[in-house]
Amino acid sequence: MKKNSRLLIIVALSISVFIYGVFVGTYKIFPYEQLDYAKTISLNEKNDSDEKNIIYENDVNSLIHIKTVDDISKLRNNLIDFIWSGDDFPNSKLPDSIQTNISNSLYDNFTNLKRIDQINVMMEYDVNSISYLFVPESSNNKLIIYHQGHAGDFYKGKDTIQFFLEKNYAVLAFSMPLLGMNNQPILEIPNIGTIKLTSHEHLRFLESSQFSPIKFFVEPIAVSLNYLDENYDFSSYDMIGISGGGWTTTLYPAIDDRISQSYSIAGSVPIYLRSIPQNYGDYEQWLPELYKNANYLDLYIMNSYGDDRKFVQIFNKYDSCCFSGELYKSYENEIKESLSQLKKGQFDIYLDNTHKKHIISKFSLEKILDSISNNTRSKS
């Protein structure tokens, strides 16, 4: 009897350990995808009940520094001065090299794809950027800039890239610094030692009064657009980003009004709404020196302002990563009211409740396409 009891205890413990391993993702057995989905739902429920994102009372209008068009110019100049450490926006800088008609088997099954060109940009500390220009067979002469987040290579966004190729858009795709095909240089840093840059948190060690690592996130886009300006005749540039790429889509159009419309999916909320860990974000989302120049509310207005310019945020209501729920309600009306006073530009927010993932869904893609298609602005 004692032997049987011990056996039952061992079996029960083994089953418990196994179930726990599956739940936390240690054991990926069939059907793991469904199990992971159930885990996501459970975690979301826990977050809803046990870890409420506390929204402290704020006078949102007092946090907005933009009251006039001159304020936008001033903040843009401040951002450029900070990002490029006193230098001007890189209007004339071009890529270090271009490789045309490259071969990459990952995209062999893409339709309406004429060729892929690779754009290479090298920056300080040997940090590089590798982007792909997907040129369609049948073209509407418009460009979509797609920016992937911390998930890694922009191949993760292949469904989004293919979606717009099929609609006859050219697509310029980027990964974030140190991710995807981008390198991870090994540096010797004074008083720190030799480290390999594998995380955006490492970029803190490169900061100085003469250099801001934030340029790694935005300069490749500026340089690539300079090349396109010289070699193509696209009628418009629009930008889409997911997660960290959504953050980049929040910052970049604020400093470059060549971007007509920008669509940030699960990309950012103001810092006063980030009281739970899943909403904290990485180095670039928190850097005080950056947001002292222009906070998120200011960036939203700067992205939106201009003739037929538009900035759209899309939030996944049940996002398994970050910025889930309806946090945007604390500032949406104030941003729209500010733009109304400025008399140019549009700001919108869409809530996607069609899934429980950290993705650009079919719903979001259709919303974006409809929004872009209704725009009349041409790149000057």
- Tens digit of pLDDT for each residue in 167-221? 999 999 999 999 999 999 999 999 999 999 999 999 999 999 999 999 999 999 9
The type of residue at 158 is: K
- Cα separation, 348 vs 313, whole angstroms: 6
Helices in the chain by DSSP H: which ranges? 2-24, 32-50, 60-63, 69-83, 158-166, 215-231, 244-255, 283-286, 288-291, 296-304, 332-342, 362-373
- Tens digit of pLDDT for each residue in 27-75? 433 333 333 333 333 334 344 433 567 777 889 999 999 999 999 999 9
Helices in 64-181 by DSSP H: which ranges? 69-83, 158-166
Which of 63-77, 84-98, 291-305, 363-377 is predicted least confidently? 363-377
- Tens digit of pLDDT for each residue in 226-284? 999 999 999 999 999 999 999 999 999 999 999 999 999 999 999 999 988 889 999 99
Here the tokens at position 167 are 């609609």
Got the DSSP string for 265-280? ES----GGG--SGGGT
Q: Is pTM, for the whole model, over 0.95?
A: no
